Amino acid sequence: MSAAVANGRLALMLTELRLPTIKQLATELCGQADREGWPGARLLEALFEHEIAQREVRRIARQRADSQLPPDKLLSSFDFAAVPSVSKAQVSAMAQAPTWLGQGANLLLFGPPGAGKTHLVAGLGHALVDVGYRVLFTRTGELVQRLQAARRDLRLPQELAKLDRFDLMILD
- For 45, 62, 94, the CA distances from 100, given in Å and listed in that order, are 36, 24, 7
Q: How far apart are CA 102 and CA 167, in angstroms?
A: 8
Q: How far apart are CA 21 and CA 27, in angstroms?
A: 11
Structural domains of the chain in order of their starting residue, each with its CATH number? 3-67 (no CATH), 75-171 (3.40.50.300)
Q: How far apart are CA 31 and CA 14, in angstroms?
A: 17
CA–chain centroid gap for 22, Å, is 21
Say what the pLDDT of residue 134 is.
Answer: 95
Q: Which amino acid is at 5?
A: V
User: Quick check: pTM over 0.95?
Assistant: no
pLDDT tens per residue, range 99-116: 998 898 888 888 888 889
